[in-house]
Chains A and B, each alone.
Chain A
Amino acid sequence: MKTGGSLSIWLFIGISLLVNGVLIFGAGVYEYFHPPVEQVVLYPLHANIWWGAILALIGAGYCIRFAPGKGRV
C-alpha cells in the first residue's frame, strides 16, 4: 500500500510495535530483577517480558519487510 511518498503504512505499524515491544520487554526484565512491592495479579507470569518480546519480534518483521527501498508498495 503506497502512502504519502514511498513509505508503507505497515512500516509505521512495524516501528510502533518494535518500539513498544522493546520498551515493555525492558520494563519487564527490570521488574524481574527488581520486584515491586505492590504486584499485579498473576505477576509470576511476567506478562510484560513475553508480550513485549512478541510485539518486538512482529514489529521487527514488519520493519524489515516494508523497509524503504524494498520496492514494496
Chain B
Amino acid sequence: MTMMLASVDASRLVHLSTVDLVIIVFYFALVLAIGFYLKGRSNTGEDFFMAGREMTAWIAGLSFLSANLGSLELMGWAGAAYQYGILAAHWYWIGAIPAMLFLALVMMPFYYISKTHSVPGYLKLRFGESSRALSSISFAFMTVLMSGINMYSMALVLKIVLGWNINFSIIVSSATVAIYVSLGGLRSAIFNEVLQFILIWAGALLIPILGLIDAGGWGGLKARIMTNGKAEYTHLWSTLGNFSDNPMGIHWTGIVFGLGAIISFGYWTTDFLVVQRVLSAKDLRAAKMAPIIGAGFKMMVPFIVILPGLLALAVLPMKLMPEAQALSTGGHSYNEVLPLMLARYCGPGLLGLGITALIAGFMSGMAGNVSAFTTVWTYDIYRALIKKDGTDEHYVSMGRWSTVVGVAISIGTAYLVMDFKSIMDYVQALFSFFIAPLFGTVILGMLWKRATPTGGFLGLLAGTLSSIGMWAWVKVDPAALRYVALSPHARDMAENMYRALWSWLVCVLVTVVVSMVTTPKPESELKGLVYGVTEIPSESFVPVYQRPWFWAVVVSVFFVIVNVVFW
C-alpha cells in the first residue's frame, strides 16, 4: 500500500477516500479467502480442471457470462458505444444471443456426453491428434494474449483514474489471480467469477440510472445526441443499408453474417474460455440451461455498458478521442468513458464500489483466460505431446505451476500490447484468426458424420492461414480492403467481420472437399460425438417450464423485442 500511495500521480481523474480504499481492499481479501477456502477441494484432476463437474445451472451460467465480462467488455464496449453509438449493442444481442442458445440446445449435448475436458479435447476425439495440437497451441497463444490485454486495460485505467503506478497494478492484480486460481483451480475461478458478476452489477448499475435522470430520460438522451448532430447513433439497424451511413462503416450483411453467424458462434460455442464453465455443470440439463441463463443476463449487459457510452455522448462536457491522440494531447480517450461517468456521479463509497466493479471485471476475465490456458496446456499440450504417462497428482501439480507461468507470460504480453492503437480492434482480429475457422471445424464435426480427420485438420489449417493472410494483405496494401471487406469505406470492425466470414468459408470448403476424397471414421467411433449416431437423453420427464428449449424461446422473444424497439 505504501508503494501504491508513493506512486500516486497528481493528474489522476478521481481521488479515493478512506472508505473507497477499504472497499477495494476488502474485495481483494474476499477473493483470496475464497481461494484458500477451496484449496482442499482441488486435489484431483477432475476437481482442479473441471470443478468436479458439480456446478448448478445458475453458477455455471453466471460464471459463463462473467468470464466474458472482462476489461474489454466493460471499458472497451462503453468506449465503442461512445465512438459508434448503439451499433455497439450488436455485439451483445445478435452477436451473442443466437450463438449462446445454439450452444445450449445443439452443441452442448455432444460436448457433455463425450465427457471431454476441453474443446481441443473434443477435436482429438472427433478428428485426431493433429487437429487437437493445432487448436490447442493456437488457443494457448490467443489466451495469453487476451490475458495480457486484460492486464494492460486494467493497469491503464487504474493509472488514469487513480494515478496508481502501472507496474504495481499489473503485479498486484495478476498475483491475486495467480494465487486464487492455483489454489482452488477452476472451482475457485468460477466462484470468484460469480462474486465478481454480482459486484460488477452492484457497482456499475448506478451509472445508467443516474445518467438517465441527468439526461432527462431516454427521450432526453436521444434529443441531446441529435442536437450534437449524431441522430444515427441511437439506431440499431436502420442505418446499416450503406457502409457510409453509419459511424462503424459497416453493412448489415457484415453484422448478420460476419458477426451474428460466424464470429459470435465461433466465440460462444468453441472458445474454451467460456465453454469450460459450462462443462463444469452437474448434468446435461444444467449444462444446457447454463448458456440460456447466461443469454438472459447477456441481453441486459448493454444497460451497464452501452448505455453509459451513449449517456457520455449526451452529458459529458469534454470530447473523447482515440487513445493515441489522448496520450499525445493530454485529453481523455474513448476507453475512459466508464471512469469519467463514475467520477461524475459517484461520491465516497460508491466510487470505491465502482472501481471494485472495474477491477472485478478485469480479474474475472484474467482468471477465465488463465484457468482455460492451464487446462489446455496441461491436458492438450503437456500430456498429449510431452509427458503421456504422468499420474493424476502430477498433472494437478503441473496445473498449479502452469497457472503461475501463464500469469507470468500474460504480464509480458501486457507490455507488448501497449503499442497497439486500439485494444478492441486488435482482439477482433485475433478472434478472426483462430475462432472463426475453429467454429467451422467443430460444427462440421458435430453435425456431419462424413467429415474425416484429414478434412477436419486441413480445413482448420487452411481457415486459420487464410485469415492471417487476409489480415497481412490489408496491412501491406490498404487498398485490398475493397476486396476483403467489400468496400473501400469499410473500417477496422467491418474488415474483421468479413475476414472471419471468408476464413470460415475457406475452412468449411476445404473440410468438405477433402472429406469427400478421404476415408471417414467408422460410425462406432463417432458415438457420443456426432449428430445422428449419438443418443440424446430425453427431457420428457421434467415439466415444460423446466426444459431448456422453453427458456430458449423466452429469451428469443425478448431478443426480437429489443431489436425491434431500437431498430
Interface of A with B (CB < 8 Å)? 1-5, 7, 9, 12-13, 15-17, 19-20, 23-28, 30-31, 36, 39-43, 45, 47-48, 51-52, 55
A-B CB pair tally, cutoff 8 Å: 108
* A31-B348 in contact (CB<8A): yes
Interface size class of B (residues with CB under 8 A): 35 or more
12 additional contacts (CB under 8 A) given A1-B55, A17-B198, A27-B19: A2-B54, A4-B37, A5-B37, A9-B195, A16-B198, A24-B350, A24-B353, A28-B348, A31-B348, A39-B347, A47-B345, A48-B346
> What's the nearest-Cβ distance from chain A to residue B490, in Å?
38
Residue-wise interface mask of B (184-217) relative to A, using a CB-CB cutoff of 8 A (1 in contact, 0 not): 1001000100110011001000100010011000
> What's the nearest-Cβ distance from chain B to residue A49, in Å?
9
Q: Give complex CA distance A27, B345 in Å.
A: 15
- B22 CB–A CB distance under 8 Å: yes
> What's the nearest-Cβ distance from chain A to residue B56, in Å?
5
* A3-B345 in contact (CB<8A): no
- B349 CB–A CB distance under 8 Å: yes
> What's the nearest-Cβ distance from chain B to residue A46, in Å?
9
> What's the nearest-Cβ distance from chain B to residue A8, in Å?
10
- B34 CB–A CB distance under 8 Å: yes
> In the complex where A9-B59, A40-B344 touch, is A27 in contact with B349 (Cβ < 8 A)?
yes
> What's the nearest-Cβ distance from chain A to residue B7, in Å?
24
- B518 CB–A CB distance under 8 Å: no
> Which residues of B lie under 8 Å from residue A5 when comparing CB positions?
37, 40-41
Q: Give complex CA distance A9, B37 in Å.
A: 11
Residue-wise interface mask of B (332-362) relative to A, using a CB-CB cutoff of 8 A (1 in contact, 0 not): 0000000000011111111011001000000
B residues 473-509 with Cβ under 8 Å of A?
A: none
- B30 CB–A CB distance under 8 Å: yes
* B345-A42 in contact (CB<8A): yes
- B468 CB–A CB distance under 8 Å: no
Interface of B with A (CB < 8 Å)? 17, 19, 22-23, 26-27, 30, 34, 37-41, 54-56, 58-59, 184, 187, 191, 194-195, 198-199, 202, 206, 210, 213-214, 343-350, 352-353, 356
Q: Give complex CA distance A14, B38 in Å.
A: 18
> Top 8 closest A-B pairs, CB basis?
A24-B349, A27-B349, A4-B38, A27-B348, A27-B19, A4-B41, A48-B350, A48-B349
* B345-A48 in contact (CB<8A): no
* A20-B23 in contact (CB<8A): yes
> What's the nearest-Cβ distance from chain A to residue B255, in Å?
35
* A40-B198 in contact (CB<8A): no
Q: Of the candidates B39, B199, B346, which one forms a contact with A16 in the assembled complex, judged by CB atoms under 8 Å apart? A: B199
19 A-B contact pairs sorted by A residue (CB < 8 Å): A1-B55, A1-B59, A3-B37, A4-B38, A4-B187, A5-B41, A7-B37, A13-B194, A16-B26, A20-B26, A20-B202, A23-B26, A23-B349, A30-B348, A40-B347, A42-B214, A43-B347, A47-B345, A51-B350
* A12-B195 in contact (CB<8A): yes
Q: Give complex CA distance A19, B24 in Å.
A: 12
Closest to B343 in A: A40
* B191-A12 in contact (CB<8A): yes
Q: Give complex CA distance A28, B39 in Å.
A: 38
* A23-B23 in contact (CB<8A): yes
* B40-A4 in contact (CB<8A): yes
* A27-B40 in contact (CB<8A): no
Q: Of the candidates A20, A31, A45, which one forms a contact with B213 in the assembled complex, judged by CB atoms under 8 Å apart? A: A45
Q: Give complex CA distance A41, B210 in Å.
A: 9
> What's the nearest-Cβ distance from chain B to residue A41, in Å?
5
Closest to A42 in B: B210
Q: Give complex CA distance A46, B295 in Å.
A: 34
> Which residues of B lie under 8 Å from residue A36 when comparing CB positions?
347
Q: Give complex CA distance A30, B40 in Å.
A: 42
Closest to B199 in A: A16
Q: Give complex CA distance A51, B202 in Å.
A: 9
> In the complex where A17-B198, A47-B210 touch, is A52 in contact with B349 (Cβ < 8 A)?
yes
